[in-house]
Chain A
Amino acid sequence: MIKVYKRPLNKEEIEREWFATLTENRNGAFVSFTGIIKEEHKIEGLSFDIHEPMLKKWFNVWDSYTKDNNSKLFMAHSKGDVMLGEISFMCAVASPKRRFALETMDTLVEDFKANAPIWKYDLKNGERAFALARSHKIDGSGLLA
Chain B
Amino acid sequence: MVQVEFLGPIGLKPIEADVANLKELSQLLKKKKEVKAWLENCAVAVNDEITKDIEKELKSGDKVTLLPPVCGG
Contacts and interface: CB of A to CB of B under 8 A. Distances in A.
A74 interface: no
B14 to A, nearest CB: 13
A54 B48 contact: yes
B44 A144 contact: yes
B73 A35 contact: yes
Nearest to B11: A130
A141 B8 contact: no
Interface residues of B, number: 30
B67 A51 contact: yes
A124 interface: no
A53 B47 CA distance: 10
Interface string A48-79: 11110110010000000000000000000100
A143 B68 contact: no
A21 B29 CA distance: 47
B36 to A, nearest CB: 8
A84 interface: no
A138 B71 contact: no
Contact of A112 (B41, B68, B72): B72
A145 B73 CA distance: 28
A138 B72 contact: no
Contact of A109 (B40, B42, B65, B73): B73
Contact of B43 (A50, A118, A134, A141): A141
Nearest to B53: A143
The interface centre, meaning the residue of B30, B43, B65 with most chain A CB atoms within 10 A of its CB, is B43
Interface of B: 7-9, 22, 25-26, 29-30, 39-45, 48-52, 54, 65-73
Interface of A: 35, 48-51, 53-54, 57, 77, 88-89, 109, 112-121, 130-132, 134-145
